[in-house]
Structure 1
């Protein structure tokens, strides 16, 4: 039952969005060339980057590239307009690569999903919230090329599909950089409130050096995040980093779930019809139904729940041969992170000044559930693989506006 609850809120952006990298310390330079697979001609201005990092470049007129980094991550992404994206697995025995890009077929180049001049007006706000979030961090972000984003709404199955033939460019004022987002898949199911999101991301123009400046924005993004959580697990410092782990059980509020699905369906139809502004705040066209839904949606998600504090080290096994930490558990777990009072005050003040209202920010809760028997593997840099961990709550709700590149260095 708990797993069903978690699946409802599974956010693909957390686990499917990236193939999380393994860090290779043996090399600091990578070079190669990018060629057209069909005629073996060089591909100029192709983007070459380690996924979700600041480490990237473009190819020259000969299709050549060089990357310099303190770490070499396992997945190198190569993309260019008009070509299918390539993901290259990097190993420590090779520093030179030839990448062959396949031209997109006419069917792929042609826009096969519905578009129209009003599509961004209909779906743009929803897409922004799904991709970046709707809190203070998202207020720092602006999508620079909305005209490249294409939408298709399936009225029968009530899901929204979003695509782009070009990278989506996002100006992130909080990090003072531009995000290049290569979307492979982006679908949102209204009834299940489920986002399935596959993408590659490159952070450009941050700084020549890894991020070290710590301010309220960076602290808010890092502390209590999944990156912070995994790094703390790997270093066996979870409790020292203000995390606590609990065994969790609950009874779902079925009436609230049914009301939520009804309201989601209503809003999906309204957006598809072009409604905006105040009309999207309504829960139903019928006042009695709207009031009924409003009362149900104000209730808790669960009718009854229980927690038991556990020793997180019981779920950890160190693989000394591969220098990995394995995080394995069978029960549903709850992670509790306690924020510093001063940081919580500063974040609350920012929320209020941005018109987002005051919210409880001291204790951040996340539920965890594994979908396999082997567990999650955490590498030395604190990143987890494979795609087997479901999350609901604070960590799972953090969207791209909260995310930091893998080569982020936290120095309190």
Structure 2
């Protein structure tokens, strides 16, 4: 479909140029030969600006896998293999992750970095013989416990934003759960890719879930996503929602950072340090206080005001009261951080690189009401801006040309970006309209 659209678009431009050829020839002083050379170069730049990725997908016994999904992760660029297991895709120069998946086989991923040369790929998929998954599937009962786990999964995975409310997982019963009560950990997996209808953004998303772990309130999930438009004609509402999801997002920030347009795009960046809170007791003292509290056979008033502890029980009460204090304190020491203190280059490759922590403030949109309410119903005071913190986990993080991180696990997001989950994510090839 993408190839046909490009051909159609190119032909349309050629027709328009030739329609104005006679007028163009009479009003300009260039020769006909120069005009035709200009036209050829212009059309060639459109036709050959993309790189062809082709190949075939086979089983280990060299049997063509017909209907295998082949797509670039987190993009709208994808296809399925034909009767010979063959495929063709076109992309622009850059870094891409090619995903090949077929039911009953292990999903394959390849890093593709074409440099103006076509790429030919031959892949053999291995059969998936996961015994553990089959055991869990056979034990799955779609009862109240499964419904409760599904609600927790959707809440964590899709998020709590307004856009999350417009998402619907079409094959919910393909999701299987395992809950470890001792570790308070919920894990989920699927044998088939999730089909998500995103009515808010106008996509049907195929998501191959690799991992989902929810421990207490800490979430980790990973997978491969393919985006397809719900309709050929994009609704105006979808365009507006996509632009709203993009504005202020991490993708928007990284694109603005690499193009040095942060202020113009509405971003302010501050830098801060994070140190342990001296008023909060150590974890060792807190654990001792909790054990002592559990061993007591009498009611204890934890709200008791004790200024000078005299007994062990008094100390336990004070310790448990102070355990509610935040573990860390943040100290802002630099406002309006310079580009050189946020981004570095290695052979013209950009990296997110900075000391301590960055506070990214998007000034052109306020917080959503669901963010202000919070997970536990306690409403925050609105600030009128969206504030996110970036924590580097690996020293630095490479930024792709599309405005995303090559390794998304190289950083940790806090604040507003942590609130915006999967439902607010856009495909990597998304580009906001110039209008």
TM-score range, shorter chain: 0.7 to 0.9
**How many angstroms apart in 1 are the aligned matches of 2:178 and 2:386?**
35
**How many angstroms apart in 1 are the aligned matches of 2:271 and 2:191?**
44
TM-aligned CA distance change 1:124 to 1:109, over 3 Å: closer
1:36 paired with 2:59, answer: yes
TM-aligned CA distance change 1:91 to 1:216, over 3 Å: closer
Q: Tell me how large the CA RMSD over aligned residues is.
A: 3.8
**How many angstroms apart in 2 are the aligned matches of 1:57 and 1:216?**
27
TM-score by length of structure 2 reads 0.69
Q: Where does residue 80 of structure 1 map in the other structure?
A: 102
Structure 1 contact 82–109 (Cα < 8 Å) conserved: no
- Secondary structure in 1 aligned to 2:227? strand
* 2:423 paired residue among 386, 401, 406: 401
Structure 2 contact 280–327 (Cα < 8 Å) conserved: no
Structure 2 contact 52–118 (Cα < 8 Å) conserved: no
Structure 1 contact 212–411 (Cα < 8 Å) conserved: no
Q: Where does residue 117 of structure 1 map in the other structure?
A: 142
- Secondary structure in 1 aligned to 2:161? coil
Pairs within 5 Å for 1:176-195: 176-190=202-216, 193-195=217-219
Q: Where does residue 366 of structure 1 map in the other structure?
A: 388
Pairs within 5 Å for 1:102-181: 102-105=126-129, 107=131, 110-112=134-136, 115-118=140-143, 119-181=145-207
Shift of 1:324: 2.1
* 2:263 paired residue among 210, 224, 239: 239
* 1:89 paired residue among 107, 111, 115: 111
**How many angstroms apart in 2 are the aligned matches of 1:213 and 1:221?**
12
Q: Where does residue 379 of structure 1 map in the other structure?
A: 400
More displaced stretch, 325-334 vs 214-223 = 214-223
TM-aligned CA distance change 1:303 to 1:47, over 3 Å: closer
**How many angstroms apart in 2 are the aligned matches of 1:209 and 1:32?**
30
Q: Where does residue 225 of structure 2 map in the other structure?
A: 201
Shift of 1:64: 1.2
Q: Which runs of 5+ in 1 are unaligned?
A: 1-24, 263-285
Pairs within 5 Å for 1:195-274: 195-206=219-230, 215-249=239-273
**How many angstroms apart in 2 are the aligned matches of 1:100 and 1:91?**
20
- Secondary structure in 2 aligned to 1:125? helix
Q: Which runs of 5+ in 2 are unaligned?
A: 1-47, 288-298, 304-316
Shift of 1:305: 4.0
- Secondary structure in 1 aligned to 2:261? coil
**How many angstroms apart in 2 are the aligned matches of 1:404 and 1:361?**
26
TM-aligned CA distance change 1:42 to 1:404, over 3 Å: same
Shift of 1:177: 1.8
Shift of 1:316: 4.3
**How many angstroms apart in 2 are the aligned matches of 1:222 and 1:243?**
13
Per-residue CA deviations over 1:255-278 (Å, capped at 9, x if unaligned) read 7999xx99xxxxxxxxxxxxxxxx
Structure 2 contact 49–92 (Cα < 8 Å) conserved: no
**How many angstroms apart in 2 are the aligned matches of 1:358 and 1:378?**
33
Instruction: Between the two structures, name the one with larger relative contact order (CA 8 Å, sep ≥ 6).
Output: 1
